Every structure is written in structure tokens, then in C-alpha cells.
């Protein structure tokens, strides 16, 4: 039987504990199956892998049938923003803490990866957000996010004043530390910490969560995923707000600038091993039902 994945890329951060052993185990498995393997150049200093084919992340995305990301959710978020451009399916092996996205356990590594290679997996499509900073009608910076776009003051001592418009309709003017705009994927991350709802990843929606608003009636709003969202930074602000994507890429806006956020055209394809369940992940990672079992 022909294998679905003929060429596999291994990506990750060598700083994560246990990465060396996981890469070694994966190479043993993939070599035994006759799969061509490419390692991300960030793994180049790991022992015994120097003679393997090495490529930077953006090239790997174009040349492999499957990308395996080793690390925490942050590692997968970073890789996803590159791999989504090439429609490369991704699986994540968890070497971090929560692991909502990197859901393959190192303890079940061989069995779960073997199942995926055999075609036994669930395919999951996730959308990303595009964010642009507009100044005098011109985009002066742009980035993308799988989890969230956060517009914030950049300091704990000051709030920013902004106006929110959705699909051309004015929503509100607000004084707050900022605003979190999260995808369903990101609803279990910073948005949840800010009081936002947990959303099933299959939803086509974006949640807007105010951060420490100077209002007793400020609440999260859930809007359609295709919404065109604009934040206008009021000109009288005295600080330059930050626009942060997935907590990893930051742009700087000035008073009078606008921040445009919309759904990205390309989607990320995640592959999950057999038995994957979003609600089971919530029970495990968020410790749901623990009080009932004590």
C-alpha cells in the first residue's frame, strides 16, 4: 500500500527537554518505513543528526507532505504561521505544559505517530487572523495569528482609548488596557485568562475580550469569523499601543492609527491521533471534574 506521507519534516526547538530523544525515536520509525526525512535547521546542533538533510522552516513547508512539530503550543504557533502558506498538514508532539495544540504524548509517541502515518487520524481545519496597522491610509505593518491578536497599552500603568467598528458599524468607544481578539483555537489561551468563553475549534467565530475596561458593563463579544474588525486608536492617546500576534510578533501603533483584523484566506490543517477529543483535552488540561473525583 502506498504511503500517504512520503516526505516528513521534523521541526522544533532544541532547548526543550527530551527533544533529542524524540527526534531520535522518530528517525528510527521513519527510516524503518522508508520515509524521506528533513530536519529544521534549528535542530542542527542536536547530537548524531548532523548528516541529515537540513532546511529552514519556510523551505520545509514547501517540500514535505507532513510537518511534525516537537515542543509546546508556542512552538506550534510559531511554525503554523509559516506552514499555513504551503497547506502543509501538521501534527504536534508535546514537550511543553498544556499542549492543546501539541496533543501527541511522548509516552505514546510511536503508536500515535504510526497510526497517523497509516492514515488513522482526524483532520482538523483552523483559521488564522490577519492583522494590519494602518497609518494615513497605508499599511505600515502586518502579521498573522493562530491564537489571538492583542492590542494593548504595553504598560500596566496606563489605559488606551479606542473605537471598535465591526463590518462598518460602530460598536463602542472604550478606555481599557487593551482588547483581545481570539480565534476558537485561541479561546483556551490568553482570552480565557481574560474572562472570555471557551469555543469549540469547529466554530467560525472570533471573540473580542476587553482587558480591564474602565466600565462595569464591559463584556466579551462573539462575532462571525468573516467579520471585518477595526480598532481606531484615538488621537489623544499619549502612548503607542502594541499589536501582538500569538504573543510572539509585535507591531507598534501610534495615536490616530487603525488596526484591521480579519480572517486569513489560508487555513491550517492539524492532524490528530485516534481518540482525540477537544472536550477530553479540556478535562485534562483545565482539570475539569477534578473536584468530583476527589
Q: Which residues are catalytic, by number?
A: 73
Per the structure block, which three cell numbers stand in for 223? 462575532
Rounded distance between C-alpha atoms, residue 136 and residue 253, angstroms: 12
Report the phi/psi class of residue 252: left, alpha or beta, with left for phi > 0 and alpha for psi in -120 to 50.
beta
**Hey, what long-range contacts does 138-143 have (CB within 8 A, 24 or more apart)?**
140/257, 141/243, 141/251, 141/252, 142/251, 143/243, 143/245, 143/249, 143/251
Helix (H, G, I), strand (E, B) or coil at 30: helix
HEC-encoded secondary structure of 84-131 = HHHCCCEEEEECCCCCCCCCECHHHHHHHHHHHHCCCCEEEEEEEEEE
Per the structure block, which three cell numbers stand in for 252? 507598534
Report the phi/psi class of residue 275: left, alpha or beta, with left for phi > 0 and alpha for psi in -120 to 50.
left
188 and 198 Cβ atoms separated by less than 8 Å = yes
**Of 169, 153, 163, 291, nearest in space to 235 by CA:** 163
Angle, helix 109-117 to helix 19-32, in steps of 10 degrees: 40
Per the structure block, which three cell numbers stand in for 203? 466554530
Report the phi/psi class of residue 212: left, alpha or beta, with left for phi > 0 and alpha for psi in -120 to 50.
left
DSSP string, 185-221: GGGGTHHHHTTPPP--TT--EEEEEEES-S-TT---E
Amino acid at each position: 500500500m502506498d504511503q500517504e506521507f512520503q516526505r516528513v519534516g521534523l521541526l522544533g526547538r532544541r532547548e526543550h527537554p527530551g527533544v533529542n530523544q524524540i527526534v531520535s525515536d522518530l528517525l528510527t520509525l521513519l527510516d524503518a518505513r522508508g520515509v524521506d526525512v528533513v530536519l529544521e535547521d534549528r535542530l542542527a546542533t542536536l547530537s548524531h543528526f548532523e548528516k541529515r538533510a537540513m532546511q529552514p522552516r519556510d523551505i520545509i513547508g514547501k517540500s514535505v507532505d507532513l510537518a511534525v512539530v516537537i515542543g509546546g503550543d508556542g512552538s506550534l504557533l510559531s511554525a503554523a504561521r509559516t506552514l499555513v502558506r504551503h497547506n502543509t498538514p501538521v501534527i504536534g508532539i508535546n514537550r511543553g505544559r498544556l499542549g492543546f495544540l501539541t496533543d501527541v504524548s511522548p509516552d505514546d509517541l510511536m503508536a500515535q505517530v504510526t497510526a497517523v502515518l497509516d492514515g488513522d487520524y482526524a483532520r482538523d481545519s483552523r483559521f488564522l487572523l490577519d492583522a494590519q496597522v494602518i497609518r494615513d491610509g497605508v499599511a505600515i505593518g502586518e502579521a498573522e495569528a493562530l491564537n489571538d491578536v492583542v492590542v494593548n497599552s504595553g504598560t500596566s500603568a496606563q489605559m488606551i482609548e479606542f473605537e471598535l467598528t465591526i463590518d462598518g458599524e460602530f460598536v463602542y468607544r472604550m478606555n481599557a488596557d487593551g482588547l483581545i481578539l481570539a480565534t476558537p483555537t485561541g479561546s483556551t489561551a490568553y482570552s480565557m485568562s481574560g474572562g472570555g468563553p471557551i469555543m469549540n475549534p469547529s466554530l467560525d467565530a472570533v471573540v473580542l475580550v476587553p482587558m480591564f475596561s474602565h466600565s462595569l458593563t464591559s463584556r466579551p463579544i462573539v462575532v462571525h469569523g468573516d467579520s471585518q474588525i477595526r480598532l481606531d486608536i484615538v488621537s489623544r492617546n499619549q502612548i503607542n499601543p502594541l499589536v501582538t500576534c500569538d504573543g510572539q510578533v509585535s507591531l507598534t501603533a501610534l495615536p490616530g492609527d487603525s488596526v484591521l483584523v480579519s480572517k486569513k484566506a489560508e487555513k491550517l490543517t492539524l492532524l490528530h491521533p485516534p481518540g482525540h477529543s477537544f472536550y477530553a483535552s479540556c478535562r485534562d488540561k483545565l482539570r475539569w471534574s477534578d473536584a468530583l473525583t476527589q
